[in-house]
Structure 1
Amino acid sequence: MSPSAYDTAWVAMVPATEYSGGGESDRRPCFPQCLDWIMENQNPDGSWGLGTDHPFLVKDRLSCTLACLLALRKWGVGQQLVQNGMDFIASNGWAAANNNDQFSPVGFDIIFPWMVNYAKELDLTLPSILTSHVVDSSLHIQDSEIRRKQNVQVYALEGLGKSCNWKGVISEHQRSNGSLFNSPATTAAALIHSRDEKCFEYLISVLKASNGRVPTIYPMDIYTRLCMVDNLERLGVSKYFEFELRNILDEIHMRWLEKDDEIFSDITCHAMAFRLLRSHGYDVLSDELTEYVDEEHFVNTVSMQYDGVTTVLELYRASQARICDESILDKIHDWTSAFLKQQLLNQSILDKRLRKQVEYDSYNFHGTLDQFGVRRSIELCDARDFRILKTAYRCPTVHNEDFVRLSVEDYGISQAQYQKELQQMERWYVEFRLDRLNQGRNVLQVSYSLIAAVIADPELYMARISYVKAIVLITLFDDFFDCYGSREEALCVIELVRKWNVHAETSYCSREVEILFTALYNTVNEVAENAYVAQGYWIKEDLVSRWLDLLENFARENESWSTETNVAMSLDDYLSFAWKSIGGKICVFTPTPFLGIKIPQEMFKSAEFDSLSEYTGLVCRLLNDLKTFKKERDEGTLNGVTLQIVGGVSEEEAILKVEEIIEYNRRKVLQMVYRREGSIVPRECKELFLKTSKMAYCVYPYNGGDEYSSPNLIMKDIKAMIWEPLELPNLST
């Protein structure tokens, strides 16, 4: 981590008297190397701290600068440095009372006024801007902050000075490593006011680990490694480090089971550990997050260190990993999502990159497709990236330039591959005369883009292509059965698939039937042959059987809705077959042999595979129903929402019921994907079901229309992923 001038100054203020037997030693520092660092690291403008050119970090540098001036004044050294610091404060003291366009260090309104008063004790005459209305305003805020926060003692202790019951705080809050809250500054303040051997040993360990310069929090080993795992996944390059990342997560899981202090005492780390461990199949219980279920309790009781947007965002992300009936995560999700949206509404998130991340996470919580997210993550990278606690800090593990460079290069390779594949798919479309089906939707580009966004690796070319062909053909058949094909033509297609034969005497009842069937026939045979090469067994019979089942369900839906019996059909009756008509089972079945792993043939007939198909199919089917029920009601097409309305249920109640069913099935998919033990379906295949459901959330978003048939919101992501060059972010510091 970058050194913290603020924390280094506090450690520099610890007198040697406590550990030398008294005498004149109270007139020299216990840790002179910290004083040396302060004297060697003043910024050219007279300040200390990061971000000398960052307009939002002036307040932070004021805090760092004043702390360093106190240390220098206490030991009577660096007179010219003191004067330079005074000049900086005189020019920038206005920022002390600015809470609108300045990043405020955690605890600033409590600690800064104390430092101003301590300067008086040291006969350090500060510029008048800090001794007038600024301080008065800060002291007022300090009083209200202390009253508002029941737990002020847990992170801003140094701002209480002698008035704090240091022995009591040490007794109650000291951690096993000797620190108070892993904060060198707070621990140093405790050592100044109350002799404690463990505090002293902690500071010794900090200086030893950081070569004489003090970070703003120590240790941070687990959190920084979790951030590394998370960043590699967000940048789309975790595939290159699978062995290393698995070792990291194995160790963190072991420390989770041991209730490691570093995880469980840091809310942000705790939430991130839960999310990453669960998403990678480790058995972690949401009960561990119980203390964060209530917003009011959270705000009033957690440390000021953890009540910012970044911490709430991490809790929100953790709540997205809920499976089955997890009321704890439901409650966390409810208040964190409301909190984040309110922050956006109030425009109170100053950090533009953080604001964009909150926007993206808040409004795409189930529909973030891998490659869309990778591009956004790269574009949000910045060499000046920092986080802020009591002071701003940078960590190369959290923000690693090498990872970003690798990600940009990898993204460019993938993009070039996508362009070639899309051209190939367009040739396939024309070759089989699918472009002559003028009445159906042409969804080739949007289908390819969505699938490339979730099956992103260039080497998974066959999986991508076979999935695209399957989903395009499903859409064309769906339009044919629903919109412009006659009943006779539909039955003809079904019979052709049942016989599965093409020869000179084959009778087609229309040109459309011939085009659709021959395209399906040739495509399925090609997929089956390639699957045999990849896996060593034939899947053609299974593929044909699934296509026949799908087409029969298309016909069944139309027949059910066109007869008088549809009024008597229950929602359960509809759901029993409607999940098949979205084609999810074929969509996942078709590319599975090409995922680069060996697939046991019996998996395709397993109850687990069927359950994943049903849960995913219901998510996709009902998300489609929510967006299309008004249009399909006019067309006389069977739909889960319309079915209820016809049965006497109000539109609002019908929509709510469908949303409940969607959420239940989404969680079932997630539960099965996360399960590691007793699963015959490989993780890569299970993830394809999850990604298929994410595509459905992407094309049928809550805040948009039918993005599959009429893409609008997603077109920017599609164009960026396939066509727009990605430039390397500014990585020079």
Structure 2
Amino acid sequence: MDSWLLSIGLMIEVIKKEKLWERDPYSLVNPSAYDTAWLAMIPDSDRPGQPMFQNCLDWVLRSQMEDGFWGGSDGHGLPTIESLPATLACLVVLTKWNVGKDKIERGLAFLGSNTEKLLDGTYGSCQRWFVIIFPGMIELARKAGLYLPFHDHLKVRLIDVFNRRQRILETEELIGDQCPPLLSFLEALPSSYKITNQVTNTIRNKITSGDGSLYQSPSATARAFMLTGNSKCSHFLQALVQRCPNGVPPTYPLDEELIRLCLVNQIQRLGLAQHFTHEIETILSQAYRSMSTWGSEQFEGKSTSLLQFGIQLHKDALAFRLLRMQGYHVSPWRFCWFMRDEEIRQLMEKNYEQLASVMLQIYRATELMFPGEMELKEAMSFSKKLLVKATRRANQAQSFEQHHVAFARLIEHEIGLPWAARMDHLEHRMWIEEKDMNALWMARASFHRLSDVVNGKLLQLAMLDYEFRQFIYKNELEEVKRWSRMWGLSEMGFGREKTTYCYFAIASSFSLPYQSDMRLLVAKSAVLITVADDFFDEEGSLHDLTLLTQSVQRWDGKGLKGHSATIFNALDNFVKETSEKYLQEQGHDITRQIQEIWCETFEAWLMEAKWSRSGGMPSTEEYLATGMASIATHTVVLPTSCFLDPSFPISKLRPKEYETLTRLLMLIPRLLNDIQSYQKEKEQGKLNYVLLYLKENPKADIEDSIAHVRNILETKRQELLQHVLLDEFSDLPKLCKLFHLACVKVFQMFFNTSNRYDSNTDMLEDIGKALYMPLNVGFLSLDSIGRDQNFGARKEFQQVRSALVRPFNSQTDAANQASLATHPRGFSCRNVLTPSSFRLSFN
């Protein structure tokens, strides 16, 4: 463990020393092999036999990947469909200047081996930009005398691509309302597409009236310069190469603020934010200070392409989300300004496929909605509509006409699972494994991508951090299970055995330190609550429940027997341990405060048991007053908050004096539970808010009742988010407020579309990914783990899965299952990539 921590610390130190947030933002973005090749094609006007930009040619010569391709790699270094036109452009350059013959051979071999599978829907997409550019590069390569190794079966597919391009050329205007317009692909237009004097004059006018570029595209501008020789165009290219001597980006100039925001987003999504809190705050504080210059006002009076609007929207939405999560006051109109412009919205609807990445950022930003922010609700509806349309288009498309599979899958995940129902630990895993996770935002063609060097270091750190957490989580889970068995809680013979579920919830929802007593505290609390709640619901007689509650009220277990004694003794020991630990750390005795919270919870359980068994029918208000306590979220969160931050006021532990934020924490999970449990509770004769609402509103049906509860939930979630993120709504320490939010997200996960907590199978895949299964990262196939080892790890997880699925029919069976589920051998990051190999790769 010490060597593991040392490796993580060394990697963090290396990254911090590089000061990514202070570096030239252009160094954080991958150069575009395609665009750099086009600049390398331009001959020097004084020496036509040599390139105007020798450094661009040199970059092409030294930047071929080991597999023979240029550019277009995903987050794991594997070629994407973008590599096809980039490789062709680089081969044309090398042929033009008669250099790099061995590189030409390797590039042609790559095309022969990979073109078909990259065109296939599993590997890539065939969007509009590709349909225009790829045929153009094939024609250019053939004109340069290159023999392309495309077999007959592949040629059939290529004919389809060429035919699609022809339809675009016949139906689109050169400067239309497509995003981006056809003219922005000037370098790829076929020789049959006549560049008339009128078109040349249009190009000159556009260059002269702007910054000297053609739609800020280096490749299109390079072609425009070769056609026109325009001096302003030349100045733009010279400035570009001087600014970016080591390969040029896909567009120029880049929005440097956006690059830094994307870096923050990448760090957070990889699960590394806790290691770079100061650096993140530095970037976001700078972004907040400069926000006055953002938005649509900077475009007023200018001729701006929809693509530029798209990039601005991407930045504004991303900044809004990052800043709001950090606690900054930011108005929704900072990115919802497009909702006021009917013309822009119409263009966005027409170009929804090209702007899907922008729509995704908008949708993610709208999930951080506060009460009364109708503009966010409208923007959410607008963006979701276009995202659904984009994914439907992708799913209906055939073969290589699909959208990029990984990106379509990401969209479906974002709109299919609400942000409030996602567990951070699993989200980090998904982002680590996502092969397109270094994509930043959509350019004229394909994506801008985070630098391979920067992304590689962050990814290595994220992998080590994630699997180290798995190692710790498995050990802590084993400890909780030992505790549960020792106090007899896992062998009660009734109800639900949810020790693994309880621990998974806290481990996956909140990034506490590596080794944390707080995770154990939360998991043990949740186990106690589950067992006691089931005892009140299913097992105990009203007499037994009354005696147990009275014992908790006076905190004396004398006279209790059987299950009642087991529950009280475990609870008494747990409260003593918790209080003693706080006394040692903070010098205060909080025993009585914790006892009072548990007492309130037991009294609520008893009241619900009396209602259920007597047929009592409280009002919805009376039911919620009790149900908010019986769901027991505050019983978990408040004592734990004392340890999260020493400044947490002990007075907040006192019943009847809870903060508004804590009351929201108690209300929302109760309603989430009731929506998904009303049918079961109706059959069991138990009370439920959904059912009580029907009693009070005889004209309503069950759908009306559910809709009523969902409306309450929507409002209360927005209020809770506002209380968590903005300081003026609650004086609780920030970390404690975030813990309130994490707890609500756990219940949203459990009860989002069904009652997953009561299911024996619904949670198993998530638990496996969070605690047991090694990361699935393709480019690590040559590391120390072999296929047989990986298979063994997966087989072991299947054994754990089988153990968790089997019902608890006896104490012996439960003990056997617990033994299997503790997973003594487990798998750690050491099986996948050792600390020493991480250090080697960093040196």
* Residue among 336, 354, 364 paired with 2:417: 364
2:508 aligned with 1:486: no
* Residue among 307, 317, 334 paired with 1:271: 317
* Residue among 339, 346, 361 paired with 2:396: 346
Match of 2:674 in 1: 625
* Paired letter, 1:379: E
Match of 1:314 in 2: 361
Match of 2:184 in 1: 157
Q: Partners in 1 of 2:282 and 2:440 — Cα distance?
A: 27
2:746 aligned with 1:695: yes
* 1:499–1:66 CA distance, 2 compared to 1 (3 A): closer
Q: Name the stretch that deviates more: 396-405 or 310-319.
A: 396-405
1:205-258 Cα offsets, whole Å, 9 max, x none, are 331232252221342533333333223222222211111121122222223233
Match of 2:34 in 1: 6
Asked whether the 8 Å contact 1:72–1:78 carries over to 2, the reply is yes
Asked whether the 8 Å contact 1:267–1:306 carries over to 2, the reply is no
Q: Name the stretch that deviates more: 329-338 or 440-449.
A: 329-338
Deviation at 1:2, TM superposition (A): 3.5
* Residue among 633, 638, 656 paired with 2:707: 656
Q: Partners in 1 of 2:403 and 2:680 — Cα distance?
A: 42
Match of 2:606 in 1: 555
* Residue among 488, 492, 495 paired with 2:550: 495
Asked whether the 8 Å contact 1:313–1:340 carries over to 2, the reply is no
Asked whether the 8 Å contact 2:502–2:527 carries over to 1, the reply is yes
Q: Partners in 2 of 1:518 and 1:42 — Cα distance?
A: 68
1:616-637 Cα offsets, whole Å, 9 max, x none, are 2222111111111011001111
Asked whether the 8 Å contact 1:263–1:270 carries over to 2, the reply is no
Q: Partners in 1 of 2:111 and 2:494 — Cα distance?
A: 73
* Paired letter, 1:662: L
1:281-313 Cα offsets, whole Å, 9 max, x none, are 122222233255599965724896982543333
TM-score (norm 1): 0.82
Match of 1:141 in 2: 168
Unaligned runs of 5+ in 1: 18-23
Q: Partners in 1 of 2:131 and 2:776 — Cα distance?
A: 41
2:291 aligned with 1:256: yes
Q: Partners in 2 of 1:564 and 1:586 — Cα distance?
A: 27
Asked whether the 8 Å contact 2:672–2:751 carries over to 1, the reply is yes
Q: Partners in 2 of 1:119 and 1:439 — Cα distance?
A: 73
* Paired letter, 2:271: G
* 1:554–1:78 CA distance, 2 compared to 1 (3 A): same
* 1:726–1:6 CA distance, 2 compared to 1 (3 A): closer
Q: Partners in 2 of 1:7 and 1:608 — Cα distance?
A: 64
* 1:148–1:629 CA distance, 2 compared to 1 (3 A): farther
Map 1:657-696 onto structure 2 (within 5 A): 657-677=708-728, 679-696=730-747
Deviation at 1:713, TM superposition (A): 2.4
Deviation at 1:446, TM superposition (A): 0.9
Q: Name the stretch that deviates more: 91-100 or 5-14.
A: 91-100
2:524 aligned with 1:469: yes
* Residue among 84, 102, 127 paired with 1:61: 84
RMSD: 4.5
Match of 2:494 in 1: 439
Match of 2:579 in 1: 528
* 1:434–1:25 CA distance, 2 compared to 1 (3 A): closer
Q: Name the stretch that deviates more: 692-701 or 639-648.
A: 639-648
* Residue among 251, 262, 278 paired with 1:227: 262
Q: Partners in 2 of 1:301 and 1:250 — Cα distance?
A: 31
Q: Partners in 1 of 2:115 and 2:171 — Cα distance?
A: 21
Asked whether the 8 Å contact 2:261–2:318 carries over to 1, the reply is yes
Q: Partners in 2 of 1:252 and 1:527 — Cα distance?
A: 42
Question: Secondary structure at the residue paired with 2:779?
Answer: coil
Deviation at 1:481, TM superposition (A): 2.2
Q: Partners in 2 of 1:45 and 1:488 — Cα distance?
A: 75
* Paired letter, 1:333: M
Deviation at 1:706, TM superposition (A): 1.9
* 1:495–1:275 CA distance, 2 compared to 1 (3 A): same
Aligned residues: 713
Q: Partners in 2 of 1:643 and 1:156 — Cα distance?
A: 64
* Residue among 620, 634, 659 paired with 1:610: 659
Match of 1:20 in 2: none
2:276 aligned with 1:241: yes
Unaligned runs of 5+ in 2: 1-28, 190-194, 299-307, 783-843
Deviation at 1:9, TM superposition (A): 4.0
* 1:689–1:579 CA distance, 2 compared to 1 (3 A): same
* 1:3–1:433 CA distance, 2 compared to 1 (3 A): closer
* Paired letter, 2:368: A
Deviation at 1:541, TM superposition (A): 2.2
* 1:637–1:288 CA distance, 2 compared to 1 (3 A): same
Question: Secondary structure at the residue paired with 2:368?
Answer: coil
Asked whether the 8 Å contact 2:463–2:775 carries over to 1, the reply is yes
1:450-507 Cα offsets, whole Å, 9 max, x none, are 11212443445221111112222222222222222222222222222221235xxx23
* 1:427–1:113 CA distance, 2 compared to 1 (3 A): closer
Asked whether the 8 Å contact 2:642–2:648 carries over to 1, the reply is yes
Asked whether the 8 Å contact 2:394–2:408 carries over to 1, the reply is yes
Q: Partners in 1 of 2:777 and 2:112 — Cα distance?
A: 36
Match of 2:125 in 1: 103
Q: Partners in 1 of 2:759 and 2:671 — Cα distance?
A: 18
Asked whether the 8 Å contact 2:327–2:726 carries over to 1, the reply is yes
Deviation at 1:583, TM superposition (A): 0.8
* 1:690–1:184 CA distance, 2 compared to 1 (3 A): same
2:687 aligned with 1:638: yes
Deviation at 1:377, TM superposition (A): 2.6
2:444 aligned with 1:417: no
Map 1:29-68 onto structure 2 (within 5 A): 31-34=53-56, 37=59, 49-50=71-72, 57=80, 61-62=84-85, 65=88
2:260 aligned with 1:210: no
Question: Secondary structure at the residue paired with 1:284?
Answer: coil
Asked whether the 8 Å contact 1:414–1:458 carries over to 2, the reply is no
TM-score (norm 2): 0.73
1:15-36 Cα offsets, whole Å, 9 max, x none, are 777xxxxxx7999865454456
Asked whether the 8 Å contact 1:629–1:639 carries over to 2, the reply is yes
Question: Secondary structure at the residue paired with 1:624?
Answer: helix
Map 1:503-542 onto structure 2 (within 5 A): 506-508=558-560, 510-542=561-593
Match of 2:829 in 1: none
Match of 1:326 in 2: 373
Deviation at 1:59, TM superposition (A): 6.9
* Residue among 407, 410, 429 paired with 1:375: 429
Asked whether the 8 Å contact 1:278–1:674 carries over to 2, the reply is yes
Deviation at 1:611, TM superposition (A): 1.4
Q: Partners in 1 of 2:477 and 2:57 — Cα distance?
A: 62
Asked whether the 8 Å contact 1:571–1:643 carries over to 2, the reply is yes
* Paired letter, 1:672: H
Q: Name the stretch that deviates more: 546-555 or 606-615.
A: 606-615
Asked whether the 8 Å contact 1:51–1:57 carries over to 2, the reply is yes
* 1:26–1:255 CA distance, 2 compared to 1 (3 A): farther
